[in-house]
Amino acid sequence: MRIVPSLRSRLIALIMLPLLAACAAPAAQKAPPQEAPPGYGEMVDEGITIPAVKPNQFIGSPPREDVAYNGPEAPGTIVVDAFARKLYLVEQGGMARRYSIAVGRAGLGFRGNATVNRKQKWPSWTPTANMIRTMPEFYAEYAGGLPGGLENPLGSRALYLYRGGRDTYFRIHGTIDNRSIGRATSAGCIRLFNQDIIDLYDRIPLGTTVKSRSREESERLEGKFMEDEWGLLIPYDASRLEEIAAKRAINEKKLEEQIAREAAEAAAEHQAGTLGQ
């Protein structure tokens, strides 16, 4: 039985619903590079081929970069800023390695400090009991778990966060959908491009401290943001709120139509695979 296309279409639909981003890039955004930057091309990892990140997926979610860092955290600390949708690995000499992230509802609930007590390559994934109870149409048939791979929601790597020796159930991980990076999503914790989570995974040891910034800290260090009509962050501007809300409603309708088409295509593929067995 081929269950992967069904799972992928369901999870991408769930991830994408709140993004309110249509297929085309917003004209006001900086033009994307013509090809993926170094480190984001197709790569083979543990025998699995990871697709290249498409150039237009860096709009609003720039590639990883070493930048000057103005926070107080010690070198070696991972700093998650869910409000600016950035993750920093603090380095020596006032620098940090910055990654773009997507933040799910679970990720927004992560506050304070934690420790990376477990690291996993191509991790398996099992929906929580609460996920199964609240959205059985998405998760019930995967209660037994899903092995690691390109269709797994945790992507190529996962960092498991603990506090006081207990699992917090917060994760920093890869993703099955690069379109989500730089945006807020309905599900998941803190996710990065698969190429980025591999880079981060290789740089940090077990025991690494993870700090989650509060909104106050984020606005003081990064500035205040709001979402544009595409679900991407822009500097806060109260005068544009009504305009953006109107454009967002149009984009939401287009996105729902796109999701319906993708789900129908995946369902047809799934049915054809089942009938062919």
Tens-place pLDDT, residues 33-62: 567 899 999 999 999 999 999 999 999 899
pLDDT tens for 101-156 read 999 766 567 889 999 999 999 999 888 787 788 888 777 888 888 899 998 989 99
Q: How far apart are CA 104 and CA 67, in angstroms?
A: 25
What percentage of the chain reaches a pLDDT higher than 70? 83
Reported as a pLDDT band with limits 50, 70 and 90, residue 266 is confident
What is the three-class DSSP state of 46? coil
pLDDT at 107: 58
Using alpha carbons, select from 153, 171, 173, 193 the residue that is nearest to residue 62.
193
Closest Cα partner for 100 from 44, 43, 59, 51? Answer: 59
Residues 255, 21: contact at Cβ < 8 Å?
yes
Q: Note whether 30 and 59 are within 8 A (CB).
A: yes
CA distance 271 to 129: 28
**pLDDT above 50 for 239:** yes
Q: Is 90 exposed, middle or buried (0-12, 13-18, 19+ CB in 10 A)?
A: buried
Check if the beta carbon of residue 211 is closer than 8 Å to that of residue 113.
yes
